[in-house]
Structure 1
Amino acid sequence: MEHYFTEESTSPSEPREIKLFYNGRAYPFITDHGVFSKDRLDFGTEVMLKASMDRLEGSVLDLGCGYGPVGVLVNLERGLSCHMVDINRRALELARRNLKLNRAEGRVFYSDGFSEIEDKYNYILFNPPIRRGKELIYGLFSQAREHLKEGGSLIIVIQKKQGMASARKKLEELYERVEILDKKAGYYVLEASLE
């Protein structure tokens, strides 16, 4: 079975345009088989964006960008140009197309986690692929710390039933400050910050 977090998609490509609704506006996006939440803006991602959008400034990394909704919306809503990375090459091509389609600015590139990332950021936004397991996810939490500027923050969204309490505990081990930015329908948005 193919997952959206595999490098090469094996499912037949059938790109199509959808409308994503955010903050009272409709945005066009091209999606395809083999990418995360191909039919709509994922609810958890939307909760994360609404909880964090107004605080974003400076440099932003969209870790696991998929077809690009976070990076595109951050650029269009906040005027910030995101770096957008993913392991899935089909998702990366879609993210590039969606930047153009929405006349948004950003840089899209391949990275397996942080493998190809050299920069440091004010904010890293991350909707972790929980099915990959805690070991990988917690490793990314730790690596994110090394890619934050002084005072920077990792912002994640996670469901309570998918391990929010243990994820929060791990973040508290790794970061100076962890707070809940929002919670809605079982989804929690956590901000882990360097002080």
Structure 2
Amino acid sequence: MGEHYFANRPETASRPRTVDLVLPDLHLRLETDRGMFSPDRVDPGTRVLLESVPPPPATGTLLDLGCGYGPIALTMAHRSPGATVYGVDVNERALDLARRNATTAGLDNVRFGLAEEIDPALRFDAIWSNPPIRIGKAALHDLLLAWLPRLTPGGVAHLVVQKHLGSDSLQRWLNERGHPTERLTSRSAYRVLAVSARPRARTGSDTA
């Protein structure tokens, strides 16, 4: 079995190429390589997400969780030039290309890095993600539980998940964990889930 795209430092031999991200408001030519997620084309789920979600907040701090070579983060940065966008991944080869793609696109409001390089005090006004389902359910749940609580009050995360890879069960699980989750859209075997920030626990002073 080949090396997974979620390897930290892929050992797969490099074979650089480019793919085009074409959206109604944006056309980017992105550098990709072997050893990362969807190197031969922009993933169809990513495209469904980017064509379905409402505009990100115009200002604030935004996150692409599992950014790969950057199509989601760069779209967020383009659509919200007044915001600061972070792209997080474990794959250092993909992160290097994401930085190069940002430079090529002239987008200087986006930062890419490993999770441990992101200030743990940062909170996010929006999270967009094509999450790495194939890391396994337990690891995926841990990943989401680490980042979704970092939504600001009123913040929303949009996740795209294939139906046959468990979008409905993930929606139920998120609701059970106190993250209000609704299906935003269903298209081409993908579902986009809108996950609201967990409601703040009420205290005695809230009801006084």
Q: Normalising by structure 1, report the TM-score.
A: 0.91
State whether residues 21 and 41 of structure 1, in contact with CA within 8 Å, keep that contact through their aligned partners in structure 2. no
Alpha-carbon distance in 1 for matches of 2:54, 2:44: 15
Question: Given the superposition, is the C-alpha separation of residues 108 and 97 from structure 1 closer, same or farther in structure 2, using an over 3 Å criterion?
Answer: same
- How big is the shift at 1:26? 2.7
Amino acid at match of 2:11: T
After superposing the two structures, state which structure 1 stretch, 62-71 or 141-150, moved more. 141-150
2:203 aligned partner: none
1:135 shift after superposition:
0.6
Counterpart mapping for 1:2-81 below 5 A: 2-23=3-24, 25-57=26-58, 58-79=60-81, 80-81=83-84
Q: Does 1:111 align with 2:112?
A: no
Q: Distance in 2 between the 1:25 and 1:145 partners?
A: 28
Change (3 A) 1:74 1:145: closer
- One-letter code aligned to 2:175: E
1:1-195 to structure 2, matched below 5 A, reads: 1-23=2-24, 25-57=26-58, 58-79=60-81, 80-105=83-108, 106-111=110-115, 116-118=118-120, 119-194=122-197, 195=199
Counterparts of 1:24 and 1:121, CA distance in 2: 24
The 8 Å contact of residues 56 and 126 in structure 2, kept in 1 or not, is answered as no
The answer to whether the 8 A contact 2:65-2:129 is kept is: yes
Counterpart of 1:36 in 2: which secondary structure?
coil
1:136 aligned partner, one-letter code: A
| Dislocated runs of 4+, deviation >6 Å | none
% same residue: 35
Q: What amino acid is the match of 1:83?
A: Y
Aligned-partner Cα distance in 2 for 1:131–1:151: 29
What SS does the corresponding residue of 1:54 show, helix, strand or coil?
Answer: coil
Q: Unpaired segments of 5 or more residues in structure 1?
A: none
Structure 1 contact 144–154 (Cα < 8 Å) conserved: no
Distance between the aligned counterparts of 2:160 and 2:79, measured in 1?
19
Q: Match of 1:59, SS?
A: strand
Aligned pair count reads: 193
3-state SS of the aligned residue for 1:18? strand
Give the whole-Å Cα distance in 2 for the aligned partners of 1:63 and 1:135: 17
Give the number of the structure whose alpha-carbon radius of gyration is greater.
Answer: 2
In the TM superposition, what whole-angstrom CA distance separates every residue of 1:127-171 from its partner, at most 9, and x where no partner exists?
121111111111222222321111212211111111111100111
Deviation of 1:34 after TM superposition, in Å, equals 0.8
Shift of 1:116: 4.6
What is the RMSD computed on CA atoms of the aligned residues?
1.8
